[in-house]
A = this chain, B = another copy of it.
């Protein structure tokens, strides 16, 4: 009951030394027996393992990290964890990493390049073995990333900001092509695109793809907004006035699509059935709104991103300049059609 600061408390966790003393061997032998890094006499090994289990010994990963210069931890900086796409991606990454005993340090940049910079540096200084990042800003994230170029293992996922680092994402253009084809087949001669947004790589890229793929007239029909439900809703409210007679709407992502759909339903319920709204990312929102969307192969993206890491050639000039240009991988997407 007396005051007892942490430092004065009896040590809670056994160390290699404790195990070594109990087993009457050297710490080296304990370490080797438990890590399997080197051959140890089988009987001795068994005895050490038994004693170690008995004592509930677990190696202190921090000490091991310091010595081995590897933390078995990777960072992931996402721009917006409340966009349901990212939890799915986090889940996929984590599942694959767990198999390799790697843990995930997560940071949310809130689509703010300044916060992102802090987050990236925070994770880097925690000596993550690798850093996955979906850059918040197509242009303004670049500087932060490139200032970390001497740390070799940064992988861009889903969003791209710098050619100096590998990228794994989805083939946006093919996805947009599928959406435009789908709308056309449904009889929508006139199309429009909602959610152009220069700051984010995917929305910007989808806009570009749309302009290239839709017809001359439809290709020019583009509205910009933030990638939020609220922004989409505001536009949806006005859409029949802005583009009279246009009912085929390609949206930059599910957030915007969902908002547009709701805006129309609220302000123009009588027109709702004439519209066909499409999204992108096939999140729970497109399921919610029952609109067509494009499914990214999230598991493959995660696996590919991780494999870049493990397959990375240990070559390099040693001064931070990689031997080859970093891979830029775009995986095929799938159209998920809904009523």
Contact = CB atoms under 8 A, between A and B. Distances in A.
Given A84-B284, A125-B58, A284-B84, A4 B90 contact: no
Interface in A114-130: 118-119, 121-123, 125-127
Please tell me the size bucket of the interface on A: 35 or more
Interface in A69-94: 71, 73, 81-82, 84, 86-88, 90-91, 94
Nearest to A151: B12
B91 A82 contact: yes
Contacts of A287: 229
A39 interface: no
Contacts of A94: 106-108
A184 interface: no
Given A1-B323, A88-B82, A90-B81, A61 B315 contact: no
Interface string A56-69: 00111111011000
A315 B284 contact: no
A6 interface: yes
A164 to B, nearest CB: 16
Given A5-B314, A84-B82, A61 B125 contact: yes
Contact of A61 (B84, B108, B126, B288): B126
Nearest to A101: B122
A2 B106 CA distance: 35
